[in-house]
């Protein structure tokens, strides 16, 4: 039996259909941001964490990443997912001036043209770019693609965008590495 990234042969048609649905939703702009306020000790909003939600069929419900992100990762769609979230966050920030943060996948950095695509989006909305943070989750981002991350951080920060890393658990030893890569906050 042939297996493809954890899918049994009978599931291959299903995974292909999911890829097509995700791709179509991204291409047609059937996406939205779910926003959650991140507050400081004083209760003031620091920024809105933005997670991409996808509508698989026109008029259907928007689905959170828990439903589709793993398949998007397996289908190598993370760069498109990240660019869609960034585009929406920049537009929302341009409209209301609220600081926002979007997560990006370390795997997206290795995609040819991805860093330049992000730079182009940031340059199209310079005021919003200065109120935006791009975040990486966990120490994985600091070890997997650290050279690419350092180059991306330099280019994106030149547009006024902040870079952050959410460290989880006992990953405090990564604080020094984050500073070396030019990360603005943890």
**Structure-derived torsion over alpha carbons of residues 63, 65, 70, 75, reported in degrees to the nearest 10:** 70
Distance between CA atoms of 158 and 76, rounded to whole angstroms? 28
Residues 92-102: tens digit of each pLDDT = 999 999 999 99
The percent of residues above 90 in pLDDT, for the chain, comes to: 55
pLDDT (mean) for 47-56: 95
Q: Is the pLDDT of residue 155 over 80?
A: yes
* pLDDT tops 70 at residue 181: no
**CB burial class (10 A; 0-12, 13-18, 19+) of residue 74?**
middle
Q: Which pLDDT belongs to residue 177? A: 62
* pLDDT at site 186: 72
Instruction: Work out the average pLDDT over 116-127.
Output: 97
pLDDT tens per residue across span 61-87: 999 999 999 989 999 999 999 999 999
15 vs 54, higher pLDDT: 54
| Average pLDDT estimate for 92-114 | 93
pTM for the whole thing?
Answer: 0.84
Question: What Cα–Cα distance (Å) separates residue 166 from each residue in 19, 24, 89, 117, 133?
Answer: 28, 30, 19, 23, 12
CA distance 108 to 106: 5
Mean pLDDT of the chain: 84
- Output DSSP code: residue 100: E
């Amino acid at each position: 039996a042939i297996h493809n990234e954890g899918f049994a042969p009978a599931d291959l048609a299903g995974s292909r259909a999911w890829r097509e649905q995700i791709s179509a939703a991204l291409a047609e702009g059937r996406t939205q941001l779910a926003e959650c306020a991140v507050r400081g000790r004083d209760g003031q909003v620091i920024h809105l964490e933005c997670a991409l939600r996808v509508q698989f069929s026109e008029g259907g419900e928007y689905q959170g990443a828990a439903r589709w992100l793993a398949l998007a990762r397996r289908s190598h769609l993370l760069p498109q997912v990240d660019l869609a979230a960034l585009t929406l966050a920049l537009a929302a920030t341009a409209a209301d001036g609220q600081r926002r943060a979007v997560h990006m996948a370390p795997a997206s950095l290795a995609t040819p043209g991805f860093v330049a695509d992000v730079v182009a989006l940031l340059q199209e909305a310079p005021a919003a770019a200065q109120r935006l943070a791009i975040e990486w989750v966990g120490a994985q981002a600091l070890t997997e693609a650290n050279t690419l991350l350092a180059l991306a951080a330099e280019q994106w920060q030149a547009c006024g965008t902040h870079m952050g890393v959410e460290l989880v658990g006992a990953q405090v030893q990564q604080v020094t590495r984050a500073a070396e890569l030019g990360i603005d906050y943890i």
